[in-house]
Amino acid sequence: MSDAAPLPLPVARSIASLRQTVGDWRANGLRIGFVPTMGALHAGHLSLVEMARARADRVVVSIFVNPTQFGPSEDFSKYPRQERADAARLAAFGVDVLYAPTVDEMYPAGATTAVTVGGVTDRLEGVCRPGHFSGVATVVTKLLNQVRPDLAVFGEKDYQQLLVVRRMVADLDLAVDIVPGPTVREADGLAMSSRNAYLSSEDRAVAAALPATLSFVASQLRGGLDAAPLLEAGRTRLLKAGFSEVQYLDLADAETLAPLDRADRPARLLVAAKVGATRLIDNVAV
Ligand code: AMP
């Protein structure tokens, strides 16, 4: 099929055409669900689409590789882009419109406003990726204002991002329900991610140690043991398995992400580690 062939579902490239479509639905009293993504869709994304479909009359999925959430030395330019294959999957999952704006549409010349969320952004990804969450919060605010959905589904795979979005929606009085979606995993436990496409077969074998280590450490933490030695043992296990760097392996309060010495309240175990040049993140409930 040539690049000029139409995509198998309606596509909005501009805010104006998106608003036309969604405005008509809203005028008819339909409930609108939204799943924001950066594309290179996998079964994790599609599980969020199914959640939105079960809760809404119409579903909008966005694909936008947001430049402002990538650091200068990160993978923005090489991030996988495969719109035609993504559109086919979204059509098969009954998505009503694909919203795929251009960078110029999202950030016209002269735009200078950003959204900054405090507190929950102070640690973990907020430290490893300075500016990342401001980019996320700004684009999510814009997308929510553009789509104006009744509900939006976000994956627990990006647990800190989910908390950032929840905080922002509460603080800015945005009229949208944020629905969390569980992490979808490969058969060996590796969390599905568009970035898994970067892994060589050797790196892919090493990557399986990430979910294995998380579930091992989480099971020990559930016994009420002190976190520090367990986290240290987990880091060592990842390095022995072939990870080149463990940026963090931390136990945190499930709501605030404040560090915890033991799992004496609802907690989350979160990890970021590099295998070769690829940075992977994951987390589990404790
Ligand atoms: P991304 O395209 O990576 O920006 O992700 C778009 C949405 O899909 C975010 O809400 C992610 O948390 C979610 N997501 C990514 N990977 C998974 C997964 N393996 N399972 C469930 N949701 C996911």
Same domain, 176 and 206: no
Same domain, 43 and 146: yes
Catalytic positions, written as ranges: 45
**How far apart are the C-alpha atoms of 104 and 226, rounded to whole Å?**
50
Please give the pLDDT value at position 218. Answer: 98
Per the structure, the complete domain to which residue 279 belongs is given by 194-285
Same domain, 29 and 167: yes
Same domain, 151 and 21: yes
Q: Of 132, 159, 181, which residue is a domain's last?
A: 181
Same domain, 40 and 132: yes
Same domain, 128 and 58: yes
Residue 104 counted as domain residue: yes
The alpha carbon of 226 and the centre of ligand 1 are apart by a number of angstroms equal to 31
The alpha carbon of 229 and the centre of ligand 1 are apart by a number of angstroms equal to 31
Same domain, 169 and 60: yes
Q: Which residues contact 206 (CB under 8 A, 6 or more apart)?
A: 241, 242, 243, 275
Q: Of 147, 181, 215, which residue is a domain's last?
A: 181
Residue 224's CATH number: 3.30.1300.10
Residue 6 counted as domain residue: no
**How far apart are the C-alpha atoms of 275 and 263, rounded to whole Å?**
28
**How far apart are the C-alpha atoms of 121 and 138, rounded to whole Å?**
14
The residue whose CA has the least distance to atom 12 of ligand 1 is 155
pLDDT tens for the chain, 286 residues: list them: 556 789 999 999 999 999 999 999 999 999 999 999 999 999 999 999 999 999 999 999 999 999 999 999 999 999 999 999 999 999 999 999 999 999 999 999 999 999 999 999 999 999 999 999 999 999 999 999 999 999 999 999 999 999 999 999 999 999 999 999 999 999 999 999 999 999 999 999 999 999 999 999 999 999 999 999 999 999 999 999 999 999 999 999 999 999 999 999 999 999 999 999 999 999 999 9
Please give the pLDDT value at position 2. Answer: 55
- Nearest atom, ligand 1, residue 155 CA: 12
Torsion on CA atoms 254, 139, 282, 235, rounded to nearest 10? -90
Residue 207 counted as domain residue: yes
Q: Is 47 in contact with 181 (CB distance < 8 Å)?
A: yes
Same domain, 146 and 279: no
Residue 189 counted as domain residue: no
Residue 221 counted as domain residue: yes
Pocket test for ligand 1, best of 79, 158, 196 (most atoms within 8 A of CB): 158
Residue 2 counted as domain residue: no
The alpha carbon of 39 and the centre of ligand 1 are apart by a number of angstroms equal to 10
List, chain by chain if needed, residues with CB within 6 Å of any ligand 1 atom. 37-38, 44-45, 47-48, 154-155, 157-158, 181, 183-184, 191-194
The residue whose CA has the least distance to atom 19 of ligand 1 is 192
Q: Of 153, 181, 209, which residue is a domain's last?
A: 181
Same domain, 242 and 171: no
Please give the pLDDT value at position 5. Answer: 87
Same domain, 275 and 164: no
Please give the pLDDT value at position 3. Answer: 66
Residue 3 counted as domain residue: no
The alpha carbon of 155 and the centre of ligand 1 are apart by a number of angstroms equal to 5
The alpha carbon of 181 and the centre of ligand 1 are apart by a number of angstroms equal to 9
Residue 72 counted as domain residue: yes
Same domain, 30 and 171: yes
- Nearest atom, ligand 1, residue 158 CA: 12
How many domains does one find in the chain? 2
- Nearest atom, ligand 1, residue 40 CA: 2
Q: Which residues contact 165 (CB under 8 A, 6 or more apart)?
A: 136, 137, 140, 152, 154, 178
3-state secondary structure the chain: CCCCCCCCCCEECCHHHHHHHHHHHHHCCCCEEEEEECCCCCHHHHHHHHHHHHHCCEEEEEECCCHHHCCCCCCCCCCCCCHHHHHHHHHHCCCCEEECCCHHHHCCCCCCCCCCCCCCCCCCHHHHCCCHHHHHHHHHHHHHHHHCCCEEEEEHHHHHHHHHHHHHHHHCCCCCEEEEECCCECCCCCECCHHHHHCCHHHHHHHCHHHHHHHHHHHHHHCCCCHHHHHHHHHHHHHHHCCCEEEEEEEEECCCCCECCCCCCCEEEEEEEEECCEEEEEEEEC
Pocket test for ligand 1, best of 37, 47, 76 (most atoms within 8 A of CB): 37
- Nearest atom, ligand 1, residue 41 CA: 2
**How far apart are the C-alpha atoms of 132 and 29, rounded to whole Å?**
36
Predicted structure pTM score? 0.98
Residue 91's CATH number: 3.40.50.620
Same domain, 121 and 223: no
